Amino acid sequence: MSLMDNKIFEKLFEEVTNLHSIPIGAYNIRLNSKAAGRNSSANIDIIPKTDKPGIDIIIKPNTKHESVHIPALVTETGIHDLVYNDFYIGENADVVIVAGCGIHNDGDSLSQHDGVHRFFVGKNARVLYIEKHIGTGDGKGERIINPQTIVEVDEGGYIELQTTQLKGVDSTLRTTKAKAKENGTVVVKEKILTHGTQYAETRFDIDLNGDGSSVNLVSRSVAKEKSRQKFVSVINGNAKCMGHSECDSIIMDEGVVSSLPEITANNVEATLVHEAAIGKIAGEQITKLMTLGLTEAEAEAQIVNGFLK
């Protein structure tokens, strides 16, 4: 039976990857803690680790306009998945990496995925990393996802992390650590929505070690009902560099958001900025949309969707 014949797998796969079929080219599919499909390409090798669960993804120098998909999916209750994935991006490569995790839990036991991803971005290489996390299912068992991302950017390298978690994850601790050498760039675009009694914590620790290195970190989040969020960002400017951290959050109902940005300049040529804003939806925004025929709930949803777009 094909993986896509499993309706739960198919739905999770589509939501995490935005694909309706198994991709052509390089991919690795992980399902319930086991490899469920793998393919390398001429320029991208995917090699299973021998000492622990996970894979090495080796992208050859000068590889252009190629992608690799590595979704990890959990469709059974009581699964605790732990995986270590290492990405080696060769000099002058320009690639897209699509990852992410989906957990479907209809049972009473906890289901959890912990992923440790390390990126070694070569000189003048460019990487777009897209990661989406979702949870589904009607069971009482929790859906927990704890991603760790560790990045080393060589001279002139660039990596952009687009991370999204908009529904269904009961608890998450998201940790990102990055180091950039001369003219290396790190960009982070994070979007989070929590509801019910969910908890989300994101932690960033960025070291700008080379002249001309930079980071632009932007987090947008919405905390609804009784959910809680915590945002911690640490940027260390250790050279002539540029660093920017921005956290914008909307709180609704009884939601709670805590934002703790920290910047440290260890070099007189370092330029660092942090911004943090937390607030509710303005009443006049809702009123304006209601005059166009929307209900209050529809107006709130419209504003939230626009904020997280």
Give the tens place of pLDDT for each residue, 41-82.
999 999 999 999 999 999 999 999 999 999 999 999 999 999
Query: What residue type is 284 in one-letter code?
Result: E
Q: Is 278 helix (H, G, I), strand (E, B) or coil?
A: strand
Distances in whole angstroms, Cα of residue 73 to Cα of each of 54, 68, 117: 14, 16, 16
Region of 225 (left: φ > 0; alpha: ψ -120 to 50; beta: rest) is left
Surface-to-core class of residue 256, CB atoms within 10 Å of its CB (0-12 exposed, 13-18 middle, 19+ buried): middle
Q: Is 105 helix (H, G, I), strand (E, B) or coil?
A: coil
More confident residue, 103 or 291: 103
Strand 199-208 relative to strand 228-237: parallel, antiparallel, unpaired? parallel
Residue 10 tokens, joined: 């198919």
Residue 282: the pLDDT is 85
Has residue 302 got a pLDDT over 80?
yes
Q: Which residues have a Cβ under 8 Å from the Cβ of 250 and sit 6 or more positions away?
A: 221, 222, 223, 278, 279, 280, 281, 304, 307
Residue 285: the pLDDT is 87
**What does the pLDDT look like over 3-19, one tens digit per residue?**
766 889 999 999 999 99
Q: How far is CA 75 from the centre of its chain?
A: 20
Distance CA 4, CA 160 (A): 30
User: 206 near 243, Cβ under 8 Å?
Assistant: yes
User: 293 near 266, Cβ under 8 Å?
Assistant: no
| 277: β partners | 248
Q: How many residues does the chain have?
A: 309
Q: State phi, psi for 296 to the nearest 5 degrees.
A: -60, -45
Q: Which of 2-11, 36-45, 132-141, 220-229 has the lowest mean pLDDT?
A: 2-11
Mean pLDDT on 128-138: 96
Distance CA 249, CA 227 (A): 13
Residue 2: the pLDDT is 66
Residue 190 tokens, joined: 């994070």
| 102: β partners | 73, 134
Residue 243: the pLDDT is 98
Q: What is the pTM of this model?
A: 0.95
Place of tokens 């059974």: 76
Distance CA 101, CA 259 (A): 25
Cα angle 49-55-57, degrees, rounded to a multiple of 5: 125
Cα-based torsion angle of the residue sequence 114, 149, 167, 16 in order, rounded to the nearest 10 degrees? -90
Mean pLDDT on 130-154: 96
